[in-house]
Amino acid sequence: MTNRPLSVIMLDIDYFKSINTVYGHKFGDLVIKQFAHQLKKNVRKYDIVIRYGGEEFIVISPGANRDAALALAYRIMNNISIYNFGSKKNTVKIRSSVGVVSCPEDRILRPADFIDLADKIVKKVKEDGGNRVYSSLDLKRKKVSTRKFVQESEDIKSLRKKIVQLTKKANQSLIESVFAFAKTIELKDHITGEHVERTVYYATAIAKKLGFSKEEIERIREAAILHDLGKIGISENILLKKARLTKKEFNELRRHPQIGVDIIRPIQFFHHIIPLN
């Protein structure tokens, strides 16, 4: 590899399946084209934009080290997040999971290593809820030193590793499904969608001002995204009613926080945000 810095930014649109489900594939194709257009507008003139998969894109940034690539990735994500995608009839907001790989900071021995590592980083972003930028630094975890008194056989080690991988994959799929579920509600009810966007923005902004830790801010962000999840159990006649709600309808609407809690209660991963909902 050359000594000149080179970075690859991988972007995967979050919950894109829910857009296709609600509005159809033709609308989804339009969103993809608009996303590509916005992506090209936000990169540097000598960066290369490639559509890598269905809702995945890659930006190749010559001369950009990790810091420069992260700055570019954040700029792209933030600018895309405020753009309204779609048509005059229907518009949606887009969130994306972004992975940054840089040479020489990352150990890159061959071109394919860029893609392999970027894909691994994006999967980690998805696992953590999406809508953020990670680099390989976010993959590193502190190793816990433990003394083993019984030597495990290679078969037991292998089995344990497979169980951990399967559990992690199952949890990731479940988490993505719940967030996609919440996103579907936003897409069907634009009032709810705009309200959720504002709630996430102000809740996390206040948490940062108060000096909360990164983990606490993320917990608040997740709770803000899911706080209207229970509306799935409320009649659309009530949700979309333009006239004043009757007392009975208002009492029905007030049930949605409890419905949301009942939905996420069986999911161990979300137990930490139940008190916030």
Average predicted confidence (pLDDT) for the chain: 78
Q: Which residues partner with 12 through β-bridges?
A: 56, 97
Please state, for a pLDDT cut of 70, what percent of the chain lies above it. 73
Higher pLDDT, 108 or 37: 37
In the predicted model, what is the mean pLDDT of residues 210-235? 80
Fold of 172-276: Hypothetical protein af1432 (1.10.3210)
Q: What is the mean pLDDT of residues 151-169?
A: 53
- The rounded distance, in Å, linking the Cα atoms of 276 and 273 is 5
Work out the average pLDDT over 180-203.
Answer: 65
> With bands split at pLDDT 50, 70 and 90, how would you rate the model's confidence at 161?
low
Specify the pLDDT at position 150.
Answer: 41
**With contact defined as beta carbons under 8 Å apart, do 97 and 14 qualify?**
yes
Q: How many C-beta neighbours within 10 Å does residue 168 have?
A: 12
Mean pLDDT of 250-254: 83
The secondary structure of residue 62, as a DSSP letter, is E
265: tokens are 């209660």
Residue 180 has pLDDT above 80, yes or no: no
Rounded to whole angstroms, how far apart are CA atoms 178 and 232? 12
pLDDT at 223: 81
| pLDDT in the model for residue 34 | 94
| Contact between 61 and 68 (Cβ < 8 Å) | yes
Helix (H) or strand (E) holding 50: strand 48-51
d(Cα 167, Cα 54) in Å, to the nearest integer?
26
The three-state DSSP-derived secondary structure of 105-116 is CCCCCCHHHHHH
What is the mean predicted confidence (pLDDT) over 24-52? 92
Which three-class secondary structure state does DSSP give residue 255? coil
- All structural domains of the chain with their residue ranges: 6-139, 172-276
Show the CA angle centred on residue 127, arms to residues 123 and 131, nearest 5°.
85
Beta partners for residue 50, in sequence order: 58
Residues 6+ apart with CB under 8 A from 93: 81, 83, 84, 85, 186, 193, 197
Least confident span in 55-69, 72-86, 91-105, 211-225: 211-225
Give the model's pLDDT for residue 62. Answer: 93
Instruction: Please say if the pLDDT value at position 79 is more than 60.
Output: yes
CATH 3.30.70.270 fits 6-139, yes or no: yes
pLDDT digits (tens, 9 = 90+) for 6-15: 999 999 998 8
**Alpha helices for the chain (secondary structure H):** 16-23, 25-42, 66-81, 111-127, 154-188, 190-209, 214-226, 236-239, 247-253, 256-264
Mean pLDDT of 108-124: 90
Q: Ranked by mean pLDDT, which of 46-55, 195-204, 237-246 comes out on top?
A: 46-55
pLDDT value at residue 270: 63
Q: Considering only 7-21, 94-108, 183-197, which range has the smallest mean pLDDT? A: 183-197
d(CA 202, CA 220): 10
- pLDDT over threshold 50, residue 82: yes
Mean pLDDT of 171-189: 57
CB of 61 within 8 A of CB of 121?
no
C-alpha dihedral, 83 to 31 to 217 to 126, nearest 10°: -160
pLDDT in tens, 163-179: 455 555 555 555 555 56
pLDDT at res. 183: 60
Report how far Cα 48 is from the mean position of its chain's Cα atoms.
23
What lies within 8 Å, CB to CB, of 258 at 6+ separation is: 230
